[in-house]
Structure 1
Amino acid sequence: MPRTSNPQPVLVRPSSPAFADLLPTNDLGEFPTATPWCQRWREKRHSFRHTSAGGFDPRHYTVEPLAVRTAKQFVLQHHYSGSFPSAKKTFGLFNIAEGEPRLSGVAVFGLSVSRAVLERALPDLEPAISALECSRFVLLDECPANSESWFLARTFDALLASDVRGVVSFADPVPRRTSTGKLVAVGHVGTIYQASNATYTGRATARTIKLLPDGTVLNDRSAQKVRKQEQGHEYVEAKLMSLGAPAPRAGCNPALWLRDALQAVGAVNLRHRGAHRYVFRLGKNQRERERITLGYPNLKPYPKGPDSSD
């Protein structure tokens, strides 16, 4: 895939003249917990906040349940993936400093593509009822440093109150670029989950993914929707047509159309070593949390850097 020089990050640095910290990587990967940078998003463009800049005041924020429709609109507008997963619980981070609540972040919890993802990680809990996957966690660039830990903790309080006892979340460590070389996904190691004391349980299954020319991924579930003409196939087809694929003809074989469409848009295969998997056990105290069985061993140390994009 063609590559160009890395785009420059948007930085908000402390005003102190003694400030000398630099971004620790030119490729803009998500940083280890020990580094002082927090990632933010707006209109699918990432930026960074330095923890020493401070500014977060919990009195200026509130976390509330959010309508799925509103969460979907926010995620599609700002998150680099350009997609919205199945959602069961959605929460909004609202800035109330100026009186009128302003939506500044969204957290989405739902059922994984496969029930086995939750069953294997949390074998004692019922998927979609007492165990959910955190599939999107997006904060706008207006949020001060350290907002995400507070937001995540408040969502966990709300989940526990509704009898959710476990959360699984994945961090994709593979940087992704468009066909012109623009970096759209920096490669995440799960910094926010590490800072929140999640249990790291290794990587998900390695696989080959279909990378589209805009830097997004056509996952297996989306491809299956097209092949079997299941609910949601129109969205996937429209996405491919927007990238240059021909419209499907009446009566054509959907599987053959998908094959030809991927070839027409220039989709490429990318070997993926597997996303990093984190597990949270929820409870009122440590004893309650430790009673919840983990289906995978607790691994140390946490991963510290994104995978190579080569």
Structure 2
Amino acid sequence: MQHLPVRPDVQRCQRWRGGRASYRPAREVIDTERFEVVPLSESDAKAFVGQHHYSHSYPAARFRAGLVSHHWGRRARLEGVAVFSQPMNQLAGPRHAGLPPARVVELGRFVLLDETAANAETFFLARAFAELRVALPKVGACLAYSDPVPRASLGGEIVFPGHYGCIYQAASGGAYLGRATARTLLLTPDGRVVSARTLSKLRNDERGAAYAYRQLRDAGAPARRPGEDGAAYLDRALADGGFRRQRHPGNHLYLFPVGGPAARRRLAREIGRGHPYPKGVDRPYVEC
């Protein structure tokens, strides 16, 4: 996957197709009369995200919304998916929004096709929030993370350009809360991230260890030896399989009040205007 560096003053909007990123000029305008945002089934959302998002992975969804286009002479077409998921960290809701975990969701995936005009993001996100309020009226806040650290394959090919949350800054009502927790990433030879939970399952031979093993094998890890326990195999695989570690300073974190009008106003007062917005990724690759 190639991504060419652009000048810092040029903003472009990221799109996806078949797991590959592309970019559209930020000043494009969509014809909103030709689009609608609707609740989406789990199967349709999962298939779209699995096909087009670079990670080919799908989070634990609580609600899904789809961006559907209606162009003259063409059948209705799904052009984008927003997945509101259970936050990975159950303490994130209480810590950042002052709400119990059940009342907080995370924007786990936000994917639009490469043919969709640039400003579709803000149109789609605002209406996806409206659909979320109808479907899950007790949810009071949505967390949205943007990962500003580009990643490359062993061959130097940029497989993830990084993004600083331009669309979250353009959306109304949100606040930037700073960086999430710093951590160290484990990268496969092709530049993908292996989650800490995947490693834990395999190291401890927990339920799901077989799936974790297949993930590592698909990424180029050696085969497990007969009788080799999970911990010993993992140490050997990470040493011999071309895996790398990369320090990560933490994702950017945005918070959006999404409850009823009174609840949104109250939470907005509590979080205030947040910190100044970041204006670039952590390396010279710019995405919007």
1:152 aligns with 2:100: no
Report the residue type matching 2:132 in the other structure.
L
The answer on whether the counterparts of 2:140 and 2:263 sit within 8 Å (CA) in structure 1 is no
| Structure 1: gaps of 5 or more residues | 1-5, 10-21, 26-30
Alignment of 1:30-41 (within 5 A): 35-41=10-16
- TM-aligned CA deviation for residue 295 of structure 1: 8.0
Quick one: percent identity of the two aligned structures? 41
- Where 2:199 maps in the other structure, the secondary structure is helix
TM-score normalised to structure 1 length = 0.82
Partner residue in 1 for 2:199: 223
- TM-aligned CA deviation for residue 235 of structure 1: 3.1
One of 269, 274, 292 as aligned partner of 2:245: 269
Q: 1:210 to 1:295 in 2, by over 3 A?
A: farther
Report the residue type matching 2:105 in the other structure.
L
One of 94, 104, 108 as aligned partner of 1:119: 94
The answer on whether the counterparts of 1:211 and 1:217 sit within 8 Å (CA) in structure 2 is yes
Report the residue type matching 2:176 in the other structure.
Y
One of 184, 195, 210 as aligned partner of 1:234: 210
For residues 268 and 37 of structure 1, the distance between their equivalents in structure 2, rounded to whole angstroms, comes to: 29
TM-score normalised to structure 2 length = 0.88
- Where 1:292 maps in the other structure, the secondary structure is helix
The answer on whether the counterparts of 1:208 and 1:272 sit within 8 Å (CA) in structure 2 is yes
- TM-aligned CA deviation for residue 225 of structure 1: 2.5
The answer on whether the counterparts of 1:120 and 1:295 sit within 8 Å (CA) in structure 2 is no
- TM-aligned CA deviation for residue 294 of structure 1: 8.1
* Structure 1 consecutive aligned stretches of length 4 or more whose deviation exceeds 6 Å: 293-297
For residues 157 and 115 of structure 2, the distance between their equivalents in structure 1, rounded to whole angstroms, comes to: 23
For residues 73 and 61 of structure 1, the distance between their equivalents in structure 2, rounded to whole angstroms, comes to: 20
Partner residue in 2 for 1:96: 70
Q: 1:90 to 1:225 in 2, by over 3 A?
A: farther
One of 43, 52, 62 as aligned partner of 1:69: 43
- TM-aligned CA deviation for residue 248 of structure 1: 3.1
Worse-matched range after superposition: 75-84 or 269-278: 75-84
1:203 aligns with 2:176: no
Partner residue in 2 for 1:292: 267
- Where 2:176 maps in the other structure, the secondary structure is strand
- TM-aligned CA deviation for residue 264 of structure 1: 2.5
Alignment of 1:41-60 (within 5 A): 41-54=16-29, 56-60=30-34
Report the RMSD for the aligned CA atoms in angstroms: 2.5
- Where 2:27 maps in the other structure, the secondary structure is helix
For residues 242 and 294 of structure 1, the distance between their equivalents in structure 2, rounded to whole angstroms, comes to: 48
The answer on whether the counterparts of 2:65 and 2:131 sit within 8 Å (CA) in structure 1 is no
1:80 aligns with 2:31: no
Map Cα deviations across residues 116-175 of structure 1 (whole Å, 9 max, x no partner): 12221122x232x32101111111101012001111111100111221220001110100
Worse-matched range after superposition: 255-264 or 144-153: 255-264
Report the residue type matching 2:214 in the other structure.
A
- Where 1:62 maps in the other structure, the secondary structure is strand
- TM-aligned CA deviation for residue 298 of structure 1: 4.5
- TM-aligned CA deviation for residue 205 of structure 1: 0.9
Partner residue in 1 for 2:7: 24
The answer on whether the counterparts of 1:210 and 1:267 sit within 8 Å (CA) in structure 2 is yes
The answer on whether the counterparts of 1:225 and 1:231 sit within 8 Å (CA) in structure 2 is yes
The answer on whether the counterparts of 1:122 and 1:293 sit within 8 Å (CA) in structure 2 is no
The answer on whether the counterparts of 1:119 and 1:126 sit within 8 Å (CA) in structure 2 is yes
For residues 65 and 185 of structure 1, the distance between their equivalents in structure 2, rounded to whole angstroms, comes to: 29
For residues 214 and 89 of structure 2, the distance between their equivalents in structure 1, rounded to whole angstroms, comes to: 25
- Where 2:267 maps in the other structure, the secondary structure is coil
